[in-house]
A and B are shown apart, each in its own frame.
Chain A
Amino acid sequence: MNLLPGPDDELAVTHARPVLDAHFGADAWAERLRTGIAVPDPVVADLTAAVRTARSAPQAVVVALELGRTLAPVETLGALIVPEGRVALAVPRAGGGTFRFGAEVPDAVVVWRSDGVGRAAPEPGDPVDGVDPTTPMWRCPSDDAVPLGPEIALRARAVGAGYLAGLAHGALDLAVGHARTRIQFDRPIGANQAIKHRLADAATRAEAARATALYAATALAEGDADDGFWVAAAARVAADAADANARAAIQVHGGRGYTLDCPAHLFLGRARIVCALLGGVPGIRAGLTEAAPSPSDPDAISGCARR
């Protein structure tokens, strides 16, 4: 048993690294928030091309973790589901139609439904001011889509869980950096147990989310009998971790955390979007109940875990 990603698992991360380092570091985000300049299209295209090199489920989830951690555009996840050009992601709205995330004119659209993912032809949409100001969002009239099948649906959910787990890590890193350097009462605020313990809890959530996402990815790759359960569990744990850690990051930044200039809110908005793609917390829970314990293979580790 080994849950540490090896060089092969990190293939797409290796390809994406130069773009991520150049355009998605902390300084790049600070500058972007200050100037209001969006991530340039060619940068998204380059990143998408690098991400698309992921083939196996572990390669896809491991790069999704890194995309979440660095706040890479949500639409880059589309390249891990339908590997064709710029792929926008959409979620059905209660009143019909969808909210779509990504390029104004994508090459394809993946619609995330409660019963799986489907592929739709791009249609023109109306721009919407979204919960995350850095994710382009469109209101589209139709939610028609051709189902992509259960295997791709499971991979999509695992990738979503990986991105959320990455967000949980990124939010933790941001908060820890601030807690180390922000001086109040003549010492770093991170010297106080109130801050330390909040961040220790955030670290625990981030670790739980990462570990479960890696476990789910490996279960998928090995065709484990309980892979559906592991993916659902990874989504549930990561959705909680991403939301709670984004909140912790905002809180630890104090008044600055409430401003649009501080990147902490980006983790919150991204978490809302990707959690919604996964069906929201109720949808994720429903998936967990459906995929609950099957004592199928008593010798399999996961089967053993839940008998």
Chain B
Amino acid sequence: MDLAQSPADRAFRADLRAWLTEHAPPPMPRAVGPDLRARDLAWQRSLHEAGYAGINWPVEFGGRGLSLARQMIWFEETARAGISHVNSLFVGVSHAGPTIITCGTEAQKARWLPPILRGEAIWCQGFSEPEAGSDLASLQTRAVRDGDDLVVNGVKIWTSFAQVADHQEMLVRTDPDAPKHRGITWLVCDMDQPGIEIRPIRTLVRESHFCEVHYHDVRVPIENVVGEIDDGWRVARATLAYEHGVANLGQQIRLARTVERVAEAAEARDCDAATWARIADARADVASLRAMTALMISRIARQDLPGPEGSLVKLRYGEVSQLVHTLGVDVLGSDGLEFVPDDDTLVHGYLASLAATIGGGTSEIQRDIVAERLLGLPR
């Protein structure tokens, strides 16, 4: 066992830290609009110029092909520099791009991949529907063949940054008579066309990147289908694996920083022993997340593919995140009643933490996965 990094790892970290000091992007604008789009694309271009674009992508597709340990350094250092990974680039870089690399044709790769890394295109995701949440495969958005096009009708939900996206990775039902996991197709829908109506959703943190997207006779060329028609569930599994993979490695760093900010606030407010006991526990809990992440990475390095153990980390992260942020607003007392629309405040973090046990697969679904796939309990 070792925690040590090789000299090359240390050099990578030092170079990255120095580069981030000079090149960290400006804070994200609150409003999801042209300013946010310009900011995110400029950040991606800056990464591309410096050779930091696509750290998780194979070298042959313009990425860096970094080991998981290096990717963890990347996420740690960017989190340390206060850069949020929740931005409009996430879908393209972290799962749409990798899915196309795995399942797309040569023509599709040539068409869609370079603009993602070069900071020329923003992607969004159209998977969930109002009636297909945890049970994703029950999705109902229809696509009917008409000549060389598929004609799409339906509704998608929780689509982050739909307002500023160029393309959408999308799941549609192409065969309503097949069993629900068959008859699904994975396609790329261009967002700038008639029949697409984007409705932003207000959330606990008020203005939000979430949208509901409605499709009225939207035409998608057959050449935009990734994988085969009716074989989209297989492609979607790849997408979900990338989405849930290692993209959140840096989140425990942010949480560790939050605990120390809570401790500072407690110091300033002369909090009681019971509060300090909770802070001590929170420090231990956050440390355990780091250790679990390290253990998960060690396993993936040995087995070469992520197993259901990832659900253990996600479950724990959700619990600990809410515990830490609840502690934060408890420490603030009446000061915690004022909502400040800024990602960096404890109040914002508190409200946002409620999503940690819902997004990316609810904690209930994660518990089912752990119980059935890891513990071997009957379905």
Do A207 and B3 form a contact, CB below 8 Å, given A190-B378, A233-B287, A305-B287?
Answer: no
In contact, A212 and B298 (Cβ under 8 angstroms): no
In contact, A187 and B288 (Cβ under 8 angstroms): no
Return the chain B residue nearest A187 by Cβ. B378
Contacts of B202 in A (CB 8 A): none
Do A208 and B292 form a contact, CB below 8 Å, given A292-B283, A307-B257?
Answer: yes
Of the candidates A4, A180, A199, A304, the one whose C-beta lies within 8 Å of that of B302 is: A4
In contact, A1 and B256 (Cβ under 8 angstroms): no
In contact, A1 and B253 (Cβ under 8 angstroms): no
How many residue pairs between the two chains, A and B, have CB atoms under 8 Å in the bound complex?
181
Contacts of B312 in A (CB 8 A): 203-204, 207-208
Does B297 belong to the interface (CB within 8 Å)? yes
In contact, B285 and A237 (Cβ under 8 angstroms): yes
B2, B10, B284, B294: residue with the most chain A Cβ atoms closer than 10 Å: B284
Do A190 and B377 form a contact, CB below 8 Å, given A1-B5, A197-B371?
Answer: yes
Of the candidates B1, B13, B253, B256, the one whose C-beta lies within 8 Å of that of A299 is: B13
In contact, B298 and A201 (Cβ under 8 angstroms): no
In contact, A229 and B3 (Cβ under 8 angstroms): no
Contacts of B77 in A (CB 8 A): 304
In the complex, per-residue mask of B360-374: 1 if CB is within 8 Å of any chain A CB, else 0:
000010111011101
A3 to B297, CA, bound (A): 9
In contact, B283 and A218 (Cβ under 8 angstroms): no
Within 8 A of B (CB), among A200-258: 200-201, 203-204, 207-212, 214-215, 217-219, 221-222, 224, 229-230, 232-233, 236-237
Does B204 belong to the interface (CB within 8 Å)? no
A5 to B2, CA, bound (A): 9
Do A201 and B315 form a contact, CB below 8 Å, given A207-B309, A215-B291, A299-B14?
Answer: yes
The list of the 9 closest CB pairs from A to B, nearest first, reads: A196-B371, A200-B367, A236-B284, A215-B291, A211-B291, A233-B287, A190-B377, A200-B370, A208-B288
Which B residues are within 8 Å of any A CB, using their own CB? 1-5, 10, 13-14, 69, 72, 76-77, 80, 252-253, 256-257, 260, 263, 276-277, 279-281, 283-285, 287-292, 294-295, 297-299, 301-302, 309, 312, 315-316, 319, 364, 366-368, 370-372, 374-379
A-B contact pairs, 15 of them (CB 8 A): A2-B2, A4-B299, A4-B302, A5-B1, A176-B377, A188-B377, A201-B315, A211-B294, A215-B295, A224-B3, A233-B287, A237-B287, A304-B77, A305-B253, A307-B80
